[in-house]
Protein backbone atom coordinates (compact mmCIF):
# COMPACT_ATOMS: atom_id res chain seq x y z
CA UNK A 1 0.00 0.00 0.00
CA UNK A 2 1.25 3.44 -0.89
CA UNK A 3 -0.03 6.89 -0.20
CA UNK A 4 -1.69 7.96 -3.45
CA UNK A 5 -2.48 11.25 -5.13
CA UNK A 6 -5.97 10.36 -6.42
CA UNK A 7 -6.93 8.28 -3.38
CA UNK A 8 -5.58 8.34 0.17
CA UNK A 9 -4.03 4.88 -0.37
CA UNK A 10 -3.13 2.97 -3.50
CA UNK A 11 -2.82 -0.82 -3.67
CA UNK A 12 0.13 -1.54 -5.98
CA UNK A 13 -0.45 -5.28 -6.33
CA UNK A 14 -3.81 -6.19 -4.80
CA UNK A 15 -3.44 -9.90 -5.58
CA UNK A 16 -3.17 -10.73 -1.87
CA UNK A 17 -6.49 -9.03 -1.15
CA UNK A 18 -8.88 -11.61 -2.61
CA UNK A 19 -10.46 -14.83 -1.33
CA UNK A 20 -9.26 -16.76 1.70
CA UNK A 21 -6.48 -14.70 3.32
CA UNK A 22 -4.51 -17.88 4.06
CA UNK A 23 -4.34 -18.75 0.33
CA UNK A 24 -1.51 -16.30 -0.32
CA UNK A 25 0.50 -16.71 2.89
CA UNK A 26 3.10 -18.77 1.02
CA UNK A 27 3.60 -15.95 -1.47
CA UNK A 28 4.28 -13.55 1.40
CA UNK A 29 6.85 -15.93 2.88
CA UNK A 30 8.59 -16.67 -0.46
CA UNK A 31 9.85 -13.12 -0.74
CA UNK A 32 12.41 -13.47 2.08
CA UNK A 33 12.95 -17.22 2.41
CA UNK A 34 16.56 -17.05 1.17
CA UNK A 35 17.49 -14.77 4.06
CA UNK A 36 15.88 -16.80 6.85
CA UNK A 37 16.64 -19.88 8.91
CA UNK A 38 13.93 -22.27 10.11
CA UNK A 39 13.23 -20.30 13.30
CA UNK A 40 13.02 -17.05 11.33
CA UNK A 41 10.59 -18.61 8.84
CA UNK A 42 8.36 -19.85 11.65
CA UNK A 43 8.52 -16.49 13.45
CA UNK A 44 7.66 -14.63 10.23
CA UNK A 45 4.87 -17.13 9.56
CA UNK A 46 3.45 -16.48 13.04
CA UNK A 47 3.42 -12.74 12.46
CA UNK A 48 1.81 -13.08 9.02
CA UNK A 49 -0.85 -15.51 10.27
CA UNK A 50 -1.70 -13.17 13.13
CA UNK A 51 -1.90 -10.15 10.81
CA UNK A 52 -4.11 -12.09 8.38
CA UNK A 53 -6.38 -13.21 11.21
CA UNK A 54 -6.22 -16.91 10.32
CA UNK A 55 -5.45 -19.95 12.48
CA UNK A 56 -1.93 -21.36 12.48
CA UNK A 57 -3.04 -24.82 11.31
CA UNK A 58 -5.17 -23.37 8.52
CA UNK A 59 -2.31 -21.09 7.47
CA UNK A 60 0.25 -23.89 7.61
CA UNK A 61 -1.94 -26.13 5.46
CA UNK A 62 -2.21 -23.44 2.80
CA UNK A 63 1.53 -22.69 2.92
CA UNK A 64 2.38 -26.37 2.43
CA UNK A 65 -0.20 -26.86 -0.33
CA UNK A 66 0.73 -23.72 -2.29
CA UNK A 67 4.46 -24.32 -1.91
CA UNK A 68 4.25 -27.93 -3.12
CA UNK A 69 2.01 -26.83 -6.00
CA UNK A 70 4.50 -24.12 -7.04
CA UNK A 71 7.43 -26.51 -6.53
CA UNK A 72 5.91 -29.07 -8.91
CA UNK A 73 5.07 -26.38 -11.45
CA UNK A 74 8.62 -25.00 -11.23
CA UNK A 75 10.12 -28.42 -11.85
CA UNK A 76 7.84 -29.04 -14.84
CA UNK A 77 8.73 -25.61 -16.24
CA UNK A 78 12.46 -26.29 -15.92
CA UNK A 79 13.10 -23.69 -13.23
CA UNK A 80 16.22 -24.26 -11.16
CA UNK A 81 16.17 -21.74 -8.29
CA UNK A 82 12.50 -21.69 -7.30
CA UNK A 83 12.19 -25.42 -6.50
CA UNK A 84 15.17 -25.10 -4.13
CA UNK A 85 13.52 -22.10 -2.46
CA UNK A 86 10.28 -24.07 -2.11
CA UNK A 87 12.15 -26.85 -0.32
CA UNK A 88 13.71 -24.24 1.94
CA UNK A 89 10.28 -22.84 2.86
CA UNK A 90 8.76 -26.28 3.49
CA UNK A 91 11.53 -27.57 5.76
CA UNK A 92 10.36 -25.95 9.03
CA UNK A 93 6.76 -27.08 8.48
CA UNK A 94 7.49 -30.78 7.98
pLDDT at 11: 64
Does the predicted TM-score (pTM) go above 0.85?
A: no
Which pLDDT score, from 0 to 100, does residue 16 have? Answer: 58
Q: pLDDT by residue (tens digit) across 45-75?
A: 999 999 999 999 999 999 999 999 999 999 9
Question: For residues 82 and 70, is the Cβ–Cβ distance under 8 A?
Answer: yes
Q: 78's torsion region: left (phi>0), alpha (psi -120 to 50) or beta? A: left
Domain boundaries, the chain: 16-93
Q: What are phi and psi of 23, to 5 degrees?
A: -55, -40
- Residue-wise pLDDT for 14-48, tens only, equals 665 667 889 989 988 988 898 999 999 999 999 99
Bridge partners of residue 2, in order along the sequence: 10
Amino acid sequence: MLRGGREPWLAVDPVLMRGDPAYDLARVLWTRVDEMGDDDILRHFGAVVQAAGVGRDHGRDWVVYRTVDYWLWGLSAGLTEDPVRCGRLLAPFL
